[in-house]
Amino acid sequence: MLMAKAKFGANYKEVEVGEIVHIARDMPLKLECGVEVSDIPMAYQTYGRLNAAKDNVVLVCHALTGDQYVCGTHPVTGKEGWWDRMVGAGKPIDTDRFFVICSNIIGGCMGSFGPKEINPQTGKPYGLSFPFITIDDMVKAQAMLLDQLGIGKISCVIGGSMGGMQALEWARRFPERISSVMAIATSTRQSAQNIAFHEIGRQAIMADPDWRDGDYIVNNTYPSKGLAVARMAAHVTYLSESMLQEKFGRNLQNGEEFTYGFGADFRVESYLRHQGASFVERFDANSYLYLTRAASYFDLTRGGTRKLTDVYAGTHIRFCVVSFTSDWLYSSVESRNLVRALNAIAANVSFTEIESDKGHDSFLLDIPEFDNVVRGFLQ
Amino acid sequence: MLMAKAKFGANYKEVEVGEIVHIARDMPLKLECGVEVSDIPMAYQTYGRLNAAKDNVVLVCHALTGDQYVCGTHPVTGKEGWWDRMVGAGKPIDTDRFFVICSNIIGGCMGSFGPKEINPQTGKPYGLSFPFITIDDMVKAQAMLLDQLGIGKISCVIGGSMGGMQALEWARRFPERISSVMAIATSTRQSAQNIAFHEIGRQAIMADPDWRDGDYIVNNTYPSKGLAVARMAAHVTYLSESMLQEKFGRNLQNGEEFTYGFGADFRVESYLRHQGASFVERFDANSYLYLTRAASYFDLTRGGTRKLTDVYAGTHIRFCVVSFTSDWLYSSVESRNLVRALNAIAANVSFTEIESDKGHDSFLLDIPEFDNVVRGFLQ
């Protein structure tokens, strides 16, 4: 077991990123873009214990800017992992019972094969020489990791948002390995609006001269401003209008008078700036480019050339599909389309639309009904 | 009558901006921020003829990035004015009947007092030394312009989006001068979500080093990239998800294969980039900062310190409020709140929610039912 260090964010803070294995050592991983990669690092965390029958594995797939630190203290931020409230002893994904694995997706920046890793051929970070990856590539890499860890079958693959895309791709790519799938606040394909939002984020990053055509690490710069704008633009889409109105409304940051300036007069402005600034400290700008690209490319129907009903025809997998009423990024309509296709082929599927005013981020937040759905499905 | 030239956009293209008068010559205009300004230019256009009774005046208020070129050929873009389909001989706002006036709002960039105008005290463009302005200030300046043109009463003040905010402010500030108001796709106050979107746009502009703390003109630079990102982020909010899905879906720009690159693979990406690039040619970056700030400050209730019902208590004005079903920037909920307040004080108000899948931009687009509402209200 290898413990690796990595540098993060605008200040290139160096931290231990945890357990890492190298995959694709005997046989290369062929990416959808055509590039073959070998001997690439996969960083991962596990929680709970693998039982003797090896049938208690839950694979958690993280979202766009998540990572393998599902619970416990995050080594970069010092905060709780992104799903600490869901995963742990006695929690809905109960580590007293399940062996939970989460790996950093390829293209990511928490130790797995990503654009800030060193390209062995040049001795420099990949930057834009990093190959383009897809959701399918992420899933193939995860499967190779599990092979290497000696894990065959998975009881449940579970993920929200882009993690849900991975879960759905798992059900298509490796149905023989998995018993059930939970696809939360996600879609079978990235919508035009979501492609548009991601394009804005990428343009904001690439507009920053400190991005240096992706070579900011060797130039010792960092596109902090561009990445912060990208995060701010994305963050608004994770929340609902009513939640923003209720939480911030038109409240001013200081006092009761406008400053008549371009400072953060409104609390919602200050909040957004903080989101941008803290993101820059924990995430890699090139990773953001590659991962948003991967999300945009995601479409289980491949541009309509295959039907969803064909994708999952004859599947034995139990599906649980969850959406949240105020999620306008991956709305309930998207989930219903998936459920309709699964019903059409008489697949085993349950669908829950959960009442919440917290928008897309609902899947990360304290919603007891959601906890019950996850706990119940895993029973 | 003065014809002025002005330089625009990234290439500082010089064009005639049309008719200009100077206002606040005898008495300064006191802005809400406390600054008093004198002898400032107001650029405007008129369409149709003022009748002998001077009772056929329609004041059109333009939106955030609009200008006085309501119809005819725009001198900068060479395209039709922004409401050419609504204003003209025989059109819903019929210039055979009405004398239509539209002035460039202060803070704007089409010849009126704005941050790219020359500060007479320094001989240089104002840049960030330009005073902060509000919707109320815009309206006071418009009233001074009308005074100077010898126009007392206005038959109807009409505007969409931020133009609707001006119309509502007119009804509060100068009720004695106006007979009716059409407030279209607007709100009585900027919501938290909309404040957030505008903050993203400003941060994108100010992140661009070519912005030079607002002094790009004297430095002969232009924050094209930042302004383009701001426009892209805003533009998505002007459209509906269903319209984007229907118009672009996941269609690729060239051919049927992904390029596995960061070019504009998807048509919606290419479209957005074009929106950003063309905006940069016609709009001033500092104006964008000041005008979005003015919109964020807008709240007829002044942070709840006065009630809407008090704002319009006893009004004789006929109101027509229009919203569009798929507009998520200024949704029908906002319009209904206004209508509810007007009904509570027994004001003369009609409300129409128009079925449209085109989002906020519906008020600029070809929607016959909307034409009929405008035509009917002005009869």
**Torsion of the alpha carbons at A88, A94, A97 and A103, rounded to the nearest 10:** -60
When CB atoms are compared, the residue of B34, B241, B265 closest to A191 is B241
- Which residues does chain A have within 8 Å of residue B276's beta carbon, measured at their own beta carbons? 203
| Polymer length in residues for chain B | 379
Q: Where are the extended beta strands (E) located within B233-347?
A: 318-324
| Class at the top of the CATH hierarchy for domain A2-189+300-378 | alpha beta
Fold designation for B2-190+298-378: Rossmann fold (3.40.50)
Instruction: Judge contact between B235 and B288, C-beta under 8 A.
Output: no
State the pLDDT at residue B255: 80
CATH number of A194-293: 1.10.1740.110
Interface test with A, best of B200, B266, B291, B329 (most A CBs within 10 A): B200
- Which residues does chain B have within 8 Å of residue A328's beta carbon, measured at their own beta carbons? 241, 328
Identify whether B84 is a catalytic site residue.
no
Instruction: Judge contact between B237 and B327, C-beta under 8 A.
Output: no
Contact A226 B232 (CB under 8 A): no
Confidence of residue B85 (pLDDT cuts 50, 70, 90): very high
Average pLDDT (B316-330) is 98
Query: Nearest chain A Cα to B190, which residue?
Result: A250
Confidence of residue B17 (pLDDT cuts 50, 70, 90): confident
State the pLDDT at residue B8: 60
DSSP B211: G
The DSSP result for A133-167, as a single string, is: --HHHHHHHHHHHHHHTT---EEEEEEETHHHHHH
State the pLDDT at residue A1: 42
Indicate the helix (H) or strand (E) that contains B118.
Answer: strand B118-119
Contact A192 B303 (CB under 8 A): no
The C-alpha angle A102, A105, A111, rounded to 5 degrees, equals 90
Instruction: Judge contact between B105 and B63, C-beta under 8 A.
Output: no
Contact A225 B207 (CB under 8 A): yes
Query: Nearest chain A Cα to B331, which residue?
Result: A241
Q: Token digits for A225?
A: 């401003």
Instruction: Judge contact between A360 and A327, C-beta under 8 A.
Output: yes
The C-alpha angle A92, A300, A230, rounded to 5 degrees, equals 75
Radius of gyration over every alpha carbon of chain B, rounded to an integer in angstroms:
20
Position B142, amino acid: Q
List chain A pLDDT tens, one digit each, 379 residues: 445 555 556 667 777 777 999 999 999 999 999 999 999 999 999 999 999 999 999 999 999 999 999 999 998 888 999 999 999 999 999 999 999 999 999 999 999 999 999 999 999 999 999 999 999 999 999 999 999 999 999 999 999 999 999 999 999 999 999 999 999 999 999 999 999 999 999 999 999 999 999 999 999 999 999 999 999 999 999 999 999 999 999 999 988 889 999 999 999 999 999 999 999 999 999 999 999 999 999 999 999 899 999 999 999 999 999 999 999 999 999 999 999 999 999 999 999 999 999 999 999 999 999 999 999 999 9
Contact B193 A297 (CB under 8 A): no
State the pLDDT at residue B70: 97
B256-307 tens-digit pLDDT: 889 999 999 999 999 999 999 999 999 999 999 999 999 999 999 999 899 9
Query: Nearest chain A Cα to B246, which residue?
Result: A192
DSSP B127: G
State the pLDDT at residue B1: 42
Instruction: Judge contact between B293 and B300, C-beta under 8 A.
Output: no
Contact B199 A241 (CB under 8 A): no
User: Which residue, among B149, B144, B198, B164, has the nearest Cα to B36 in the 3D structure?
Assistant: B144
Packing angle between helix B192-206 and helix A224-238, nearest 10 degrees? 170
**Torsion of the alpha carbons at B168, B171, B174 and B176, rounded to the nearest 10:** 170
Domain extents in chain A: 2-189+300-378, 194-293
When CB atoms are compared, the residue of A207, A268, A289 closest to B225 is A207
Report the first-to-last Cα separation within chain B, whole angstroms.
32
Average pLDDT (B305-327) is 97
User: Which residue, among B25, B273, B45, B319, has the nearest Cα to B164 in the 3D structure?
Assistant: B319
Instruction: Judge contact between A197 and B236, C-beta under 8 A.
Output: yes
Contact B297 A258 (CB under 8 A): yes
When CB atoms are compared, the residue of B225, B245, B273 closest to A192 is B245
B21-57 tens-digit pLDDT: 999 999 999 999 999 999 999 999 999 999 999 999 9
Cα(A192)–Cα(B42) distance, integer angstroms? 41
**Identified catalytic residue from A327, A356, A361, A362:** A327
State the pLDDT at residue B16: 75
